[in-house]
């Protein structure tokens, strides 16, 4: 975008975009980032003509102010043994492409929050950072932390060990000292920084001229103007956005840590973890489903066997059917018994036929339907064995209680008066009675079978609790890592949109 717009238009655009962004940050995040953005924008207006901004920071009394005085060859800054510099001060040094701004900052261990914020602003404004440590405090934790922070920021970095006039060669050869400093930095994981050994006094091994050359060389290489400004603004925006999203990210990360024991460093690693977690979940689910379905199918087969046993039971063989036929034929109008008191005799004969049929059928229903059914069901339930004995017994008892009252009223009720004349009706009647009987049995058996299926399924689930928990755990693991990935992508998306010149909408 830089090449299309003129520099002044680009600066204007940056101002507009980042002023809006500052307002967004004030509304949704930590307003100190908004202040930093405005500071950068204000500084940019007054900094016309700078080729680079270089900030000096470090613990108090390291010699930051003295070093800047020495580099600029003018005693502009106050120095002293007690914490001296209280505010960020800017001095100029002439460089190859115009003046270079050197920012002197208060000692970072300053406990005053305002100092700290002022220092942070200066550091965001800077194109490069010089961390100054005095000879005696090279290994101070604060110095090393500062170093690491700026290495992470990706800013060019110099580490200056000042006051080397305090070094005594008789105690330790200077080369050995240099080596030990390099080792400390390497141990701390910061190898990117250039190291200089300096003193504001005349002393051997003094690299203050090399430091000056590095600063000037840097000022020469440094892209100036809107590119540098945009990069700095963007750095602040990124920090603000990560900070803004921190609660969600931290929460998601905590849950990932809980399930995986660690938090992935890169999105790549996270998405690899998510793929694996999803696969485990799918596998666990398939294992669980397969087991459950196999079990369900087996029970379904048993249930169908019971139903078929009822449907196929031979409860009306030839003799029974004959009795039924005789009963129906006795109901026809042309059926007469005797001459004297024929009416009563006919009625008696009909009743006897009905009773004979009912009696025969009842025995058949018991022997060829209800008893075999009871035996089959109790065999199957006991063989399946997943239910406690008392629950098994209660299902057997329920099946034992299945009953059809095959008696006189029952057989009488099944007669269709209008069909009596048909020659086929006697056989149809027996079929109807058989059908009705079986429907009554099935009507009682079905809810018992269903209840058993349900209870057995519950028992299966209880017995396979571990498998189910495995599925749930796998799912939660996947959801945790997926959420972290999503949160990170969401942040990256916002950052990308800022890089593309937009302002986040929420
Ligand atoms: N021996 C020696 N003393 C130095 C050197 N540089 C600075 N000093 C002294 O160290 C003390 C602190 O120096 P300053 O330049 O004020 O240090 P500073 O880092 O700016 O300190 P604050 O502003 O308080 O954070 C002063 O008394 C300086 O005279 C050096 O190279 N050698
Ligand atoms: Mg100072």
Q: Per CATH, which fold does 2-245 belong to?
A: Rossmann fold (3.40.50)
User: What is the percentage of the chain residues whose pLDDT exceeds 90?
Assistant: 67
Regarding the beta carbon of 143 and ligand 1, being less than 6 Å apart is answered: no
Sign of CA dihedral 8, 14, 17, 21: negative
Per-residue confidence band for 136, with pLDDT thresholds at 50, 70 and 90: very high
- Residues 91, 37: contact at Cβ < 8 Å? no
Cα 16 to Cα 487: distance, rounded to the nearest angstrom: 28
Helices (runs of H) and strands (runs of E) counted in the chain: 16, 6
Residue 403 has pLDDT above 60, yes or no: yes
Cα 32 to Cα 194: distance, rounded to the nearest angstrom: 30
Residue 449 has pLDDT above 60, yes or no: yes
pLDDT in tens, 138-170: 988 888 888 888 887 778 899 999 999 999 988
pLDDT in tens, 20-39: 999 999 998 788 999 999 98
Ligand with minimal distance to 62 CA: 1
Residue 4 has pLDDT above 70, yes or no: no
Per-residue confidence band for 230, with pLDDT thresholds at 50, 70 and 90: confident
Which of the pair, 51 or 412, is modelled with greater confidence?
A: 412
Per-residue confidence band for 123, with pLDDT thresholds at 50, 70 and 90: confident
Which residues touch 238 (CB under 8 Å, ≥6 apart)?
Answer: 495, 498
pLDDT for 206 equals 96
Regarding the beta carbon of 64 and ligand 1, being less than 6 Å apart is answered: yes
Residue 224 has pLDDT above 70, yes or no: no
Q: What is the Å distance from ligand 2's center to 175 Cα?
A: 29
Mean pLDDT of the 265-282 span: 94
Which of the pair, 179 or 6, is modelled with greater confidence?
A: 179
Mean pLDDT of the 477-482 span: 97
pLDDT in tens, 284-315: 999 999 999 999 999 999 999 999 999 999 99
Which residues touch 466 (CB under 8 Å, ≥6 apart)?
Answer: none
- Output the pTM of the full model: 0.56
Ligand with minimal distance to 60 CA: 1
Cα 100 to Cα 95: distance, rounded to the nearest angstrom: 6
3-state secondary structure of 367: helix
Mutate to test the pocket of ligand 1, among 65, 82, 83, 138 (most ligand atoms within 8 A of CB): 65
Which residues touch 470 (CB under 8 Å, ≥6 apart)?
Answer: 284, 287, 288
Which of the pair, 480 or 342, is modelled with greater confidence?
A: 480
Could you tell me which of 465, 487, 472, 2 has the C-alpha nearest to residue 231? 2
pLDDT for 502 equals 86
Residue 17 has pLDDT above 60, yes or no: yes
Residue having the nearest C-alpha atom to atom 1 of ligand 1: 163
Regarding the beta carbon of 71 and ligand 1, being less than 6 Å apart is answered: no
Which helix (DSSP H) or strand (DSSP E) does residue 394 occupy? helix 389-400
- Residues 158, 131: contact at Cβ < 8 Å? yes
pLDDT for 48 equals 56
Q: What is the DSSP string of 140-200?
A: -HHHHHHHHHHHHHT--EEEEEE-GGG--TTTS-HHHHHHHHHHHHHHTT--SSEEEE--S
pLDDT in tens, 39-55: 888 877 765 556 688 99
Q: What is the Å distance from ligand 1's center to 134 Cα?
A: 8
Q: What does the buried/exposed string (b/e) look like for 110-139 if buried means 16 or more CB atoms within 10 Å of the residue's CB? A: beeeebbebbbbbbbbbbbbbbbbbbebbe
pLDDT for 225 equals 60
Mean pLDDT of the chain: 90
pLDDT for 8 equals 66
Say which range, 4-8, 64-68, 80-84, 476-480, has the weakest mean pLDDT: 4-8
Q: What is the Å distance from ligand 2's center to 112 Cα?
A: 15
User: What is the percentage of the chain residues whose pLDDT exceeds 70?
Assistant: 95
Q: Specify the ligand 1 atom closest to the Cα of 166.
A: 1
- Residues 97, 220: contact at Cβ < 8 Å? yes
Cα 113 to Cα 418: distance, rounded to the nearest angstrom: 106
Regarding the beta carbon of 80 and ligand 1, being less than 6 Å apart is answered: yes
pLDDT for 468 equals 92
pLDDT for 506 equals 62
pLDDT for 223 equals 52
pLDDT in tens, 40-93: 888 777 655 566 889 999 998 999 999 999 999 999 999 998 888 888 899 988
Q: What is the DSSP string of 252-271?
A: HHHHHHHHHSS--SSHHHHH
Regarding the beta carbon of 29 and ligand 1, being less than 6 Å apart is answered: no
Q: What is the edge-to-edge ordering of all strands in the sheet holding 128-134?
A: 89-95, 98-104, 52-58, 128-134, 157-162, 194-197
Instruction: Give the start-to-end residue ranges of the domains of the chain.
Output: 2-245, 312-464
Which of the pair, 101 or 474, is modelled with greater confidence?
A: 474
């Amino acid at each position: 975008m830089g090449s299309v717009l003129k520099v002044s238009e680009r600066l204007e655009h940056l101002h507009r975009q980042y002023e809006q962004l500052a307002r967004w940050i004030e509304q949704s995040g930590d307003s100190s980032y908004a202040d930093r953005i405005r500071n950068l924008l204000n500084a940019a207006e007054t900094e016309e003509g700078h080729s680079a901004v270089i900030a000096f920071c470090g613990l108090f009394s390291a010699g930051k102010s003295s070093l800047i005085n020495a580099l600029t060859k003018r005693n502009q800054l106050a120095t002293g043994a007690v914490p001296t510099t209280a505010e960020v001060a800017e001095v100029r040094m002439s460089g190859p492409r115009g003046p270079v701004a050197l920012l002197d900052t208060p000692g970072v261990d300053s406990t005053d929050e305002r100092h700290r914020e002022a220092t942070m602003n200066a550091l965001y404004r800077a194109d490069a950072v010089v961390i100054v440590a005095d000879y005696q405090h090279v290994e101070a934790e604060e110095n090393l932390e500062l170093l690491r922070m700026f290495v992470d920021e990706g800013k060019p970095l110099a580490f200056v060990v000042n006051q080397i006039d305090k070094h005594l060669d008789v105690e330790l050869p200077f080369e050995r000292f240099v080596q030990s400093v390099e080792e400390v930095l390497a141990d701390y994981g910061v190898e990117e920084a250039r190291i200089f050994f300096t003193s504001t006094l005349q002393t051997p091994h003094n690299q203050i001229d090399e430091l000056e050359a590095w600063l000037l060389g840097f000022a020469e290489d440094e892209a100036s103007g809107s590119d540098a400004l945009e990069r700095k603004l963007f750095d602040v925006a990124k920090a603000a956005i990560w900070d803004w999203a921190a609660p969600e990210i931290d929460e998601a990360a905590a849950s990932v840590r809980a399930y995986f024991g660690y938090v992935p460093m890169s999105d790549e690693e996270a998405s690899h973890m998510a793929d694996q977690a999803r696969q485990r979940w799918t596998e666990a689910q398939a294992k669980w489903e397969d087991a459950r379905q196999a079990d369900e199918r087996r029970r379904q087969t048993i249930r169908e066997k019971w139903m078929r046993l009822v449907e196929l039971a031979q409860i009306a063989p030839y003799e029974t059917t004959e009795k039924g036929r005789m009963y129906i034929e006795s109901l026809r109008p042309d059926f007469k018994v005797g001459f004297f008191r024929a009416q009563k005799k006919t009625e008696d004969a009909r009743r006897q036929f009905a009773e004979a049929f009912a009696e025969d059928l009842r025995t058949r229903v018991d022997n060829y339907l209800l008893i075999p059914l009871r035996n089959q069901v109790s065999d199957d339930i006991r063989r399946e064995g997943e239910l406690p004995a008392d629950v098994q017994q209660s299902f057997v008892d329920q099946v034992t209680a299945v009953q059809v009252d095959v008696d006189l009223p029952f057989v009488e009720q099944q007669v269709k008066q209008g069909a009596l004349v048909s020659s086929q009706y006697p056989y149809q009647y027996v079929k109807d009675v058989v059908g009705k009987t079986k429907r009554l049995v099935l009507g009682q058996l079905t809810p018992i079978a269903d209840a058993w299926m349900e209870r057995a399924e519950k028992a299966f689930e209880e017995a396979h609790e571990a498998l189910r928990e495995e599925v749930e755990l796998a799912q939660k693991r996947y959801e945790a890592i997926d959420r972290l990935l999503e949160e990170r992508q969401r942040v990256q998306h916002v950052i990308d949109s800022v890089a593309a010149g937009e302002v986040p909408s929420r």
